[in-house]
Amino acid sequence: NSIAMATGATNTITIGEMTAPAEVAASPSEQPRLVISADGGDGLATFTRDFFLGGLAGAITKTATAPLERVKLLLQTQDANPLIISGEISRYKGMLDCGRRVWAEQGFMSFWWGQFPPQSSDNLQKHHKTSQRGDRN
């Protein structure tokens, strides 16, 4: 592994098998800094792309793990469920039993209940009500 640095020059940095352009501060009065750009492109465009792709990855991950979270929460809170306490419905025997019962009793889409924050639906409802009146404040 090697790192090449020289004041005021553009060099390359090599870590393992990855090589990227590196810029070092131009004058000795500047604070030493090392800027690494994997594609050598515009910083703002790269940041914007990475920001949106990171948000997309987060949304996909949250959507994919939502059923597991729902089952986990139902298992954790089943002792506080009045229907289970009264004996009207039986306790969940495990994750698979809980998942099967939720799908059968509440439907497939119930695994994603609560997926979106309540603020988003509140804002949409407020916007819809105010836009019907004509004011948007």
Question: Cβ contacts of residue 115 below 8 Å, gap of 6+?
Answer: 62, 63, 66
Ranges of H-type helices in 78-117:
82-85, 95-106
Per-residue pLDDT of the chain (137 residues; tens, 9 = 90+): 344 444 445 555 555 555 555 555 455 566 555 555 555 557 788 889 999 999 999 989 999 999 999 999 999 999 999 999 999 999 999 999 999 999 999 999 989 887 776 555 555 556 555 555 554 44
**Tokens at 108, concatenated:** 């497939």
Ranges of H-type helices in the chain:
43-77, 82-85, 95-106, 118-133
Helices (H) and strands (E) in the chain, counts: 4, 4
Q: What is the pTM of this model?
A: 0.53
